[in-house]
């Protein structure tokens, strides 16, 4: 399981992109701590920094949300990346939470068919 930067590269090697999904499709199964998305704080700053979907070439504003209650909280002032939670994480469903980009999570890649 890679941290977020390598998750993006992993998807790129597969000719895919790190997901912009709002939930984890059940058919993927639920990795323990969740999955990486391409969501991040635009300037990698806490506070009012807007969330964007980061691609290799652009920042796309996040136009919908699916945050876990109490998230994003920028705990320890170093949670700049958006990940998809799973039912085994915090005992909740598949929603969003901000975490440190150095966490090791499975990438969830998506591609156009």
Binding site for Ca ion (CB under 5 A): 73, 75, 79, 97-98
Q: Provide the greatest CA pair distance for the chain.
A: 40
What DSSP element (H or E) covers 28? Answer: none
Residue 100 C-beta: closest distance to Ca ion, Å: 9
Kindly tell me which of 17 and 42 has the beta carbon lying closer to Ca ion.
42
> Which of residues 20 and 83 has its CB atom nearest to Ca ion in the complex?
83
If the CB atoms of residues 41 and 79 are measured against Ca ion, the closer one turns out to be 79
Q: How far is the CB of 102 from Ca ion (least distance, A)?
A: 14
Q: What is the DSSP string of 74-106?
A: -GGG---EEEE--TTSTT--S-EEEE-TTS--E
H helical segments located in the chain: 4-13
What's the min distance (Å) between Cβ of 27 and Ca ion?
Answer: 27
């Amino acid at each position: 399981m890679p941290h977020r930067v390598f998750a993006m590269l992993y998807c790129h090697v597969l000719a895919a992109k790190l997901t912009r999904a709002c939930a984890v499709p059940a058919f993927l199964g639920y990795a323990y701590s969740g999955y990486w998305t391409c969501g991040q704080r635009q300037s990698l700053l806490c506070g009012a920094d807007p969330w964007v979907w980061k691609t290799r070439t652009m920042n796309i504003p996040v136009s919908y949300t699916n945050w876990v209650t109490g998230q994003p909280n920028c705990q320890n002032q170093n949670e700049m990346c958006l990940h998809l939670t799973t039912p085994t994480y915090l005992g909740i469903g598949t929603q969003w939470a901000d975490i440190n980009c150095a966490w090791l999570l499975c990438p969830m890649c998506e591609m156009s068919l």
